[in-house]
Homo-oligomer: A and B are copies of this chain.
Amino acid sequence: MMSKMGLDMQTIFGQALDNRGLSRKQQAVLNASLVLFAEQGYDGTSTADIAHKAGVSEGTIFKRFRTKEGLLQAILEPFLNQVIPQAAGEFVSDLADKRFPHFKDLLAYGIRDRIDFVTANRPEMKIFIQEIGKNPILLVQMTNMLADALRESFNDVFKVYQDKGELVQWESMRIMRYVTSVLIGYMIPNVIMDDMPVDKEHVTQEAVEFLLLGLTPRA
């Protein structure tokens, strides 16, 4: 299901591809690209590398994906078509549905959830981060889209706790900025380093402790 954000990736990437309908070989190409782009970077990976790892000929890559850039898009497009709905619509409605008794509970749940999300999408994250360096517009577009899509939903979610006096009366995007910043601060080394595991409970506990302090109004 498409998120209600109506996030049209065509807008970002032009000819987005429907990855469903890919043959097994084409899937192998996509998997090989994902791993190699994440490991060695987009520029550091040759189409010959990809073809070899995927066990196909070089021609096969271009038959389907037209250009090397098209391969990158085929990787990032579904990532952005799921990341954004999930990080946005599903995530926030999930939070709303849960009707946590206290903001603290919501925070802990949300942080654990996002740690899982990042962990599950590490290669795509890494590729995305590297691409942002070269194409910064990606970052702004995604940020703006997220902001537009989530502001109202988070307004609603947060209002409950703000009314209870459990959450500062800042606008929801400012609150999200701090939560996100702290989370990123903990996760960046884990995303960038392939072999650095994350202690989910420890991170969650520390982050919640700090954020709760910073986001709870003083008496």
Residues of A near any B CB (own CB < 8 A): 40-41, 43-44, 126, 129-130, 132-134, 136, 139-140, 143, 168, 174, 177-178, 180-182, 184-186, 188-189, 192-194, 206, 210-211, 213-216, 218-219
Q: Is the CB of B185 within 8 A of A178?
A: yes
> Nearest Cβ distance between residue A95 and chain B, in whole angstroms?
21
Instruction: Indicate how many identical chains form the complex.
Output: 4
For the complex, what is the distance from the CA of A126 to the CA of B133, rounded to whole Å? 7
Partner pick for A219 among B134, B206, B219, CB 8 A cutoff: B219
Q: From the candidates B41, B134, B177, B211, name the one contacting A185 in the complex (CB within 8 A).
A: B177
Q: Name the B residues within 8 Å of A140 (CB-CB).
A: 189, 193
Residues on the B chain within 8 Å of A174, using CB: 206
Q: Which of B168, B186, B192, B194 contacts A132 (CB 8 A)?
A: B192
Q: What are the residues of chain B within 8 A of A126 when measuring CB–CB?
A: 133
* Known A-B contacts A130-B134, A139-B192; A210 and B178 likewise in contact (beta carbons under 8 Å): yes
Contacts of A182 in B (CB 8 A): 178, 181-182
Q: What's the nearest-Cβ distance from chain B to residue A177, in Å?
A: 6
New contact pairs (5) apart from A41-B134, A130-B134, CB-CB < 8 Å: A132-B192, A133-B192, A180-B185, A181-B181, A210-B214
